[in-house]
Structures are given as structure tokens and as C-alpha cells.
Amino acid sequence: MSVSPATAAPPVTNRPRLLYDACPLCSAAAISALRTGDCSGHPLYRPVVGPTINWMRCAACGHVFTDGYFTDEVAAEIFSSANPNQQPGAGFEQNRYISARIVERVARYVADGAWLDVGFGNGSLLFTAQEWGYEPQGLDLRPSTAEGLRRLGVEARCADLTALDEPGRYSVISLADVLEHMPYPGEGLVAAHRLLREDGVIFASMPHYDCAVWRLLDAADANPYWGELEHFHNFSRRRLYELLGEHGFEPLHYAVSERYRACMEVIARRV
């Protein structure tokens, strides 16, 4: 049945991103277009954003990033839903083994205290850290996800990491596939440094832009990260280590991530 013009829904207008006028890591103005990606097939895609992602490269530090980031209005619409596997409790038993290997590595450097997981997803890392005796706390930008974790008995807040005002409270802050989602990752590391106790550590994971698996995926035109709707950055290990050092962290341990394809994991101490 056709819909008359008088009752048809108005067309959705793509809202532009807030464009970077310089590299979001080093602030150099020498940035240039690298390539494009199609995000229209992403499970969380909404017509409120355009289907094409424009990727840039910084000539000064080599970092790769999108040409801009979401407005608060657009971000709120995208964060209004989540993938089923990111809901608290989803696939916990299967993910517990991967989380256990992460917690075991972190525990070599800090064995107890409060563990803050930023963007906790299904909560597996926090549930498993709790088994080791850590005090778990979750932080997420999706209200429904925070409420879901609270229903499972773990303290959770819906807030931005940079808004927390509890200096020195945490022994561990995990940023598992988080920094690439932040418009300015350095701000997240500044906040983490402030929130950690003196000997505290961060655990960070993310896609590794400069590894053989990434290049093979590119060669097969099968790299999912160029169309990753919620990502603003692609890090190399070198650039990540530099960024950590710039914000008061010493890398201690590197590993290949089991969480997602072509990803890396780093443990770094607050110095």
C-alpha cells in the first residue's frame, strides 16, 4: 500500500561529523586523505550518519584516523543500542577463558584493588577479575548496558571516563577496545593516569594497524576495520607506545589479542 505525501515520514538527513583540523594525537596540521570505508553494513548503522568513512593520515606522526567524530546528538543515537554479544552476561562462560588469561597477566603487576573496566561490554573481564579478588566497577556510555551490569551485582556507571573525580582510587583500569572509540585518546589516558594509584596499571587492547594480518586482510579486501562505525583511530604499536609515554605510562607487556581479529594488547604502568 502506498503512503501519501502528507503522511510519509520525512527523509533522514545525514549529519556531518565534527572535522579534525589537525592530528588528534600530535596536533600537526599536515594531514591528508588515506582511503574511504563503507560503514552502511555495520550492525549499529543509523542513517543519521553518512555511509562513508573518510580515513586520514598524519604526515608528522603517522597516525591514521577518521576525518571527524560524532556530535553528542549523533553519538547518543548510536549508543542507544548495542550488539547482542555486548550485553552484560552474554557469552560469559565462553569469554571467561579469554578474560582469565588477561587477568592472569595483569595480576603479575598489580595483584589486588579496585578494577575499573571502561566500555565493559558483556562484563566478562570484570566478572573474571572479581574471581581473582579485585573490586570490580564498570563504566559505559550506554545507559542500558550500565543498568544491565548493576542487575548482575556489579557497580556500574553511565559516564565518560574524563568526568570521574576519584583520583588514585583504582589499581587497574582496563581500556579494552576503547581508545580507538575516543575522539581524543590522549584525554582518556590523562584521566586514567589521574584515577590510578601510584603503582597502578592500564590494560589496553585495539586493532593493530601495522601488522601482517592487517595487511593480508587489506590485500584480500576483507579488512572490517575501515568500515567500523564507532572507531575513529587505527593505531600502530609504535604510535601507541609513544602516546602512552607522552601521558605518563611505561609499557610493560605486549601480546596478540584473542578478543578480536588483528588486535594487540598492552599492559602499561603509571609512572
Tens digits of pLDDT across the chain (271 residues)? 444 444 444 444 567 799 999 999 999 999 999 999 999 999 888 888 889 999 999 999 999 999 999 998 898 888 776 676 778 878 888 899 999 999 999 999 999 999 999 999 999 999 999 999 999 999 998 888 899 999 999 999 999 999 999 999 999 999 999 999 999 999 999 999 999 999 999 999 999 999 999 999 999 999 999 999 999 999 999 999 999 999 999 999 999 999 999 999 999 999 9
Residue 11: the pLDDT is 47
For 31-35, which contacts have Cβ atoms below 8 Å and span 24 or more sequence positions? 31/56, 31/57, 31/58, 31/59, 32/56, 32/57, 32/59, 33/67, 34/64, 35/226
Torsion (CA) 87, 142, 167, 104 in degrees, nearest 10: 20
Residue 80: the pLDDT is 76
CA distance 73 to 78: 9
Q: Does residue 131 contact residue 72 with C-beta atoms inside 8 Å?
A: no
Residue 144: the pLDDT is 87
| Residues ≥6 apart with Cβ < 8 Å to 180 | 206, 207, 231, 232, 233, 234, 235
The dotted CATH code for 84-211+233-270 is 3.40.50.150
Residue 13: the pLDDT is 58
**Per-residue DSSP letter, 86:** G
Residue 206: the pLDDT is 98
Residue 16: the pLDDT is 77
Q: Where are the chain's structural domains?
A: 84-211+233-270
In order, the DSSP letters of 87-136 are STTTTHHHHHHHHHHHHHHHHTT--SSEEEEET-TTSHHHHHHHHTT-EE
Record the pTM. Answer: 0.91
